[in-house]
Structure 1
Amino acid sequence: MIETATTGPLAVDGDGGGGGTIAVRAAGALCWRVKRKQLEVLLIHRPRYDDWSWPKGKLDAGETMPECAVREVREEVGLAITLGIPLPAITYPVKSGTKEVHYWAAETDDLPPLPDGKEVDSVLWCPPEKAMKLLSSDSDRRPLEALVAAFMAGTLATWPLLVLRHAKAKPRSGWTRAEGDRPLAATGQRQALAAARLLMVWHPVRVVTSPWLRCIATVSPYIKATRAKVKVFDALTEANHARHPGKTAAVIEALVTKRTAVVLCTHRPVLPTVLASLAGHMVPELAATLPTEDPYLAPGEAIVCQVSAGDNPRIVSVERHRPYDD
């Protein structure tokens, strides 16, 4: 499942005009950099179609859209990227129905290796104006227009702040020991592995979590894979949040001002305070896209906020991703 929302000129338009049943789902990225204060984007040329386009490809089984976007850029141009703001998805008709392609912005200054000549035979960094002329498909200009608008608005350079609800735990009703020791269920263990793969898309270098076992177990696969720095906050437990919600909110405020890619893992009853704190750093239209009804997020589901990298950090986009459904 994917839900995205952005602000101002970045508002997501879910239909590029294809209509009909979504038969093919794909994802990709618009890689960008700034050289001599000039925005540049990375185009690829595909010999099979003799066209200029963006790196993209079809979704693999069990893969989320963000994971697909990162994998396709790595496979087609050899670049390891971190996703930034979501860009407008495009749709267009294909033989089997409608193809839908989700795009993200991805800042990178790395030079792609020489293409293999099979899937991609040429790559080109160029200004958006040149890219507009070279792009073979009109629909591919839509995400570029959004990227340029974000650059002009100062909201293209961002860092990610993720909120992750812990994966499915063993039932509360059947647990007789300390609440903080309640472990993940078998489904929850699979969700934790899927969440780790999803988190790789944004590479949070810090993990902030409740000390209760089910939260620690949820983020452990990611921590083991990346050796991210971990900080435990008692204010993120259900019990401490019930007594002192203001301390929970203070943790969120500190994360926004820290300006470091981070994932926070906590419990369902804590989410309203977390979301309210995040809403204070968004325009009202974007805040209105946050979940407002219990359970807010499904077990193992994540909210991804992109925070502007300027002097006055504010959240400029919100996405929801559920990497595993049992």
Structure 2
Amino acid sequence: MSSTGEGPVLAAGTVVRRTGDEGPEVLLVHRPKYDDWSFPKGKAEPGEHALTTALRETAEETGLAVRLERPLPEQGYTVSGRPKVVRYWLATQLDGRFRPNSEVDEVAWLPLAAARDRLSWQRDAALLDDLAALPGETTALLLVRHAEAVPRDAWDGDDAMRPLTPAGRAQAAALVELLDAYAPTRVVSSDAVRALETVAPLAEDAGLVVEVDPLLSEEGWSAGPGAELLPAALVGDRRTVACSHQQVLPRLLEALCAASPVRPPQAVPPVGGVVALHLHEGRPVAVEEHAPGGC
């Protein structure tokens, strides 16, 4: 994701929510340069992923470290004759405190109705509309297709033992920052080496132990009752990363979304790609896709 070049200016931000005495409250920021009240956001740095932009800009403007939740409606408008696209996520504060800085001199936690009155831009009200339409908490289920592995025809041993290529190891390392944005609390993987190596850097970074579930493997899904057992095993109150394979992920997504208005992606994620399902009461209410290193 880059904000340079001839295309639109790309930016990202968050709507940070907390539970107040009278219901949900959201965090607004005041920018003295524009004398406006809005949500924390900012332009992407060259090559920066949108998730990283949202976290970085929120931290820079508010001093808060946050966890991203479900995506909110994207905004598109024109600034100085050039189109601008801003992606937003609902977010939860993890730690930190506000200190006035060069961009923001004041922040305010406000109930939704008061926030709507305080906002300077009508387009920001659409974010509150979306939040009000689905006020409940969600839990992220992050489905990862394993990173690039040594090709089957170049491997003489057991297929389950095929390792990642150097490019695949780089993809696995890049996934750490992307998936850390959701602060996962559980990592599950196929028993294939290429899947285990994909999530090993993330698990180490987060201090988690990788749970091995053979049903996430190609052989395990085909030989066992994967469609009946695996979706329920992945749905819960923990933010879960699950690493699987090209043949398994479409069927798993179809099973997870069967009783939901959310439709699964039509295309299989690329190697190292992520499909993030956001679950409310066990049912997907939002879905987003992230290519490795993409926007």
TM-score by length of 1: 0.84
How far the C-alpha of 1:180 sits from its partner, in A, is 1.1
SS at match of 1:89: strand
Matches within 5 A, 1:223-234: 223-234=203-214
Asked if the contact 1:26–1:99 (Cα under 8 Å) also holds between the matched residues in 2, the reply is yes
- Asked if residue 237 in structure 1 is aligned to residue 217 in structure 2, the reply is yes
The one-letter code matched in structure 2 to 1:298 is P
Matches within 5 A, 1:141-220: 141-151=125-135, 156-220=136-200
Matches within 5 A, 1:1-326: 22-95=7-80, 97-108=82-93, 112-116=97-101, 118-151=102-135, 156-244=136-224, 246-247=225-226, 249-256=228-235, 258-283=236-261, 286-287=262-263, 290-293=264-267, 296-308=268-280, 312-324=281-293
How far the C-alpha of 1:213 sits from its partner, in A, is 0.9
SS at match of 1:204: coil
SS at match of 1:269: coil
d(CA) in 2 for partners of 1:66, 1:111 = 19
d(CA) in 1 for partners of 2:94, 2:158 = 50
The one-letter code matched in structure 1 to 2:118 is L
d(CA) in 2 for partners of 1:95, 1:170 = 48
Asked if the contact 2:227–2:255 (Cα under 8 Å) also holds between the matched residues in 1, the reply is no
SS at match of 1:108: strand
Q: Which moved more, 1:141-150 or 1:44-53?
A: 141-150
Unaligned segments of structure 1, at least 5 residues = 2-20
Asked if the contact 1:253–1:277 (Cα under 8 Å) also holds between the matched residues in 2, the reply is no
d(CA) in 2 for partners of 1:177, 1:110 = 47
The one-letter code matched in structure 2 to 1:136 is S
d(CA) in 2 for partners of 1:57, 1:299 = 29
d(CA) in 1 for partners of 2:237, 2:195 = 23
> What do the CA deviations read for 1:31-85 (whole angstroms, capped 9, x no partner)?
1112124221110011111111110011122322122111111111111111112
d(CA) in 2 for partners of 1:179, 1:24 = 44
SS at match of 1:264: strand
d(CA) in 1 for partners of 2:189, 2:95 = 33
How far the C-alpha of 1:203 sits from its partner, in A, is 1.1
The one-letter code matched in structure 1 to 2:166 is A
How far the C-alpha of 1:219 sits from its partner, in A, is 0.5
Q: Using a 3 Å threshold, how does the CA distance of structure 1 residues 96 and 172 change in structure 2: closer, same or farther?
A: farther
The one-letter code matched in structure 1 to 2:104 is V
The one-letter code matched in structure 1 to 2:240 is V
Unaligned segments of structure 2, at least 5 residues = none
The one-letter code matched in structure 1 to 2:265 is P
Q: Using a 3 Å threshold, how does the CA distance of structure 1 residues 197 and 250 change in structure 2: closer, same or farther?
A: same
Which has the larger strand fraction? 2
Which residue does the alignment assign to 1:10?
none
> What do the CA deviations read for 1:103-144 (whole angstroms, capped 9, x no partner)?
11113386732222x111000011222222221122122112
> What do the CA deviations read for 1:129-162 (whole angstroms, capped 9, x no partner)?
22222211221221122112222xxxx3111111
Q: Which has the higher contact order (CA 8 A, sep 6+)?
A: 1
How far the C-alpha of 1:281 sits from its partner, in A, is 4.2
How far the C-alpha of 1:27 sits from its partner, in A, is 0.4
SS at match of 2:53: helix
SS at match of 2:69: coil
Which residue does the alignment assign to 1:9?
none
RMSD, aligned α-carbons: 1.8
d(CA) in 2 for partners of 1:265, 1:103 = 26
